[in-house]
């Protein structure tokens, strides 16, 4: 019961963080969940919670979604998710913990290493092959480290006409990535019913946090939140590394 309460509070706070500063609240939530369960269990739990978060965002901005981008990106997403789950579940749990912690520390302190430098503006029809690769990367990374935004966002931003279109389209591709991840993990034996209470509490926290966060826009220092984000990620990742090595 305590762990569900902690996850609910974390979902609330990380959703506020994402809404206010656009930071990776989902990654923080994943690390919190991973304090209580193995990473290969935490990743689909976080995916189920984030599915609702991204789905609500995509629904609100549905008229801005670039469906050709979503369509091309979805082609290899599910096969890549299956491959990611096979890789994640084949490795020892402590190895997955170390990989997850390393990814998060890079995301916190050296995010430029995860961003593509050759993404350039183009139309979806001119970027078919790129988008297929973006979808595959999204599926694989979401299933192995629980996050793909830092890698895929520059490409999606390059093929969408406005910031709203980018947010809506990225949200929709994440919906498909989370669905693919949940199906792939379920095929490997993970059951959503075993974690339904935690997921429901997390979903409630995310929805309330999004509502609160939108009302705190422009009232909070983004620089302060960025430092807080890095410190929290580092502390959680350090604890996961300690767990893996002891």
Q: Looking at residue 212, what is its pLDDT?
A: 82
pLDDT of residue 116: 59
246 residues of the chain, pLDDT tens digit each: 789 999 999 999 888 877 666 556 788 899 999 999 999 999 999 999 989 888 887 888 889 999 999 999 999 999 999 999 999 999 999 999 999 999 888 888 887 776 655 566 566 666 788 899 999 999 999 999 888 877 888 888 888 888 788 888 888 998 999 999 999 999 999 999 999 999 999 999 988 887 887 777 566 666 667 787 788 889 999 999 999 998
The CA distances from residue 21 to 78, 108, 144, 200, 226, in Å, are: 30, 14, 25, 25, 8
Residue 4 pLDDT: 93
- Predicted local distance difference test score (pLDDT) of residue 203: 94
pLDDT at 164: 81
pTM: 0.85
Q: Which two tokens stand for residue 180?
A: 């693919």
Q: Which residues of 177-206 are buried (b: 16+ CB within 10 A; e: fewer)?
A: bbbbbbebbeeeebeeeebeebbebbbebb
């Amino acid at each position: 019961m305590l762990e569900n309460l902690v996850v609910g509070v974390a979902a609330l706070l990380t959703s506020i963080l994402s809404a206010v500063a656009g930071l990776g609240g989902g990654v923080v939530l994943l690390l919190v969940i991973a304090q209580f369960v193995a990473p290969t269990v935490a990743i689909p739990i976080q995916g189920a919670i984030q599915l609702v978060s991204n789905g609500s965002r995509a629904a609100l901005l549905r008229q801005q979604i670039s469906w050709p981008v979503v369509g091309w990106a979805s082609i290899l997403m599910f096969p890549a998710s299956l491959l990611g789950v096979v890789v994640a579940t084949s490795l020892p749990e402590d190895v997955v913990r170390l990989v997850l912690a390393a990814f998060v520390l890079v995301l916190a302190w050296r995010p430029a290493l995860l961003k593509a430098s050759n993404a350039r503006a183009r139309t979806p029809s001119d970027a078919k092959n790129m988008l297929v690769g973006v979808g595959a990367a999204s599926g694989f990374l979401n299933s192995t480290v629980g996050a793909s935004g830092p890698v895929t966002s520059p490409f999606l931003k390059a093929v969408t006409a406005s910031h709203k279109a980018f947010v809506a389209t990225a949200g929709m591709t994440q919906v498909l990535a989370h669905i693919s991840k949940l199906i792939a993990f379920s095929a490997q034996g993970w059951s959503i019913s075993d974690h339904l209470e935690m997921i429901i509490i997390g979903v409630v926290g995310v929805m309330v946090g999004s509502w609160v966060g939108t009302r705190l826009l422009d009232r909070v220092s983004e620089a302060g939140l960025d430092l807080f984000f890095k410190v929290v990620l580092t502390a959680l990742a350090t604890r996961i590394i300690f767990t893996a090595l002891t």
